[in-house]
Structure 1
Amino acid sequence: MLVALFGHLAFAYPPIEYKSYDADHYDHAPKPYHFEYGVKDLHTHDIKSQHEISDGHGNVKGSYSLVEPDGSTRVVEYTADHEHGFNAVVKKIEAPHHHSEYSDTADYHHHESLQPSYDHSLY
């Protein structure tokens, strides 16, 4: 239907009917779950993992870890329940130190410089 209102055209649409949510049909049975994943992308240095388990009654336990830009690893272990809420313990594992031997003199190698070669005669 097309309606002119104050010199403007407007479209009138029939009202949209939404079905109401029937909570009686919702399944309230406990649904325990367990998941885990890991990522090791050496190109982007995205290295992380997580695992979590729930008994379906609101008790959750899990942990995740990720490698920080400085090479250290952050580990977070957590629990959650209705009585104590969410609790986490964060640990930082320092990056392993690799000892390199340094010389106070530079090690230069002489490389023969390359000259261009042409397969056609010069003008």
Structure 2
Amino acid sequence: HLAVAYPPTEYKSYDADHYDHVPKPYNFEYDVKDLHTHDIKSQHEVSDGHGNVKGSYRLVEPDGSTRVVEYTADHEHGFNAVVKKIDAPNHHGEYSGTADYHHHYDSLHPYEHSSYKFY
């Protein structure tokens, strides 16, 4: 009988020390319009890479109304959102109005940062 020996397989473990934790600027958006499932929504968000984020999203609710959320987030002011509800069009195709809601959440880790500019 012939015995064959293979060298042990080496597996490298994940090393968090080599992960780049530096935030980077980004800009993304998406739109979904699936009339079969009535899934209609969109989002747009921009970050300057220094913890400052600005964005908005909208979605059509099951009752036909549209929810629009515009938000900002930074280390000084936390997360702030303005929520609007646009009523569904009536049978004449007219909208009856909107309702505004303002929300503020304090930042969990406030610290000083340089000034920023959204693109």
Moved over 4 A (4+): 17-20
Taking the aligned partners of 1:92 and 1:22, their CA distance within structure 2 comes to 43
TM-score, normalised to structure 1's length? 0.60
1:86 aligns to 2:79 (yes or no): yes
Q: Which runs of 5+ in 2 are unaligned?
A: 1-10, 93-119
Question: CA offset at residue 97 of structure 1?
Answer: 1.1
CA deviations 1:40-86 (Å, max 9, x no partner) are: 00000000000000000000000000001111100000111111111
Q: Give the SS at the match of 2:49.
A: coil
Taking the aligned partners of 1:46 and 1:19, their CA distance within structure 2 comes to 41
RMSD of aligned alpha carbons = 2.2
Question: CA offset at residue 27 of structure 1?
Answer: 3.3
Taking the aligned partners of 1:50 and 1:28, their CA distance within structure 2 comes to 25
Taking the aligned partners of 2:82 and 2:63, their CA distance within structure 1 comes to 21
- Report the more deviating stretch, 38-47 or 26-35: 26-35
Taking the aligned partners of 2:41 and 2:81, their CA distance within structure 1 comes to 17
Of residues 13, 20, 33, the one that matches 1:40 is 33
1:61 aligns to 2:61 (yes or no): no
Q: Give the SS at the match of 2:81.
A: strand
Taking the aligned partners of 2:23 and 2:74, their CA distance within structure 1 comes to 14
The equivalent of 2:66 in structure 1 is 73
The equivalent of 1:49 in structure 2 is 42
Which structure would you say has the larger Rg?
A: 1
1:21 aligns to 2:15 (yes or no): yes
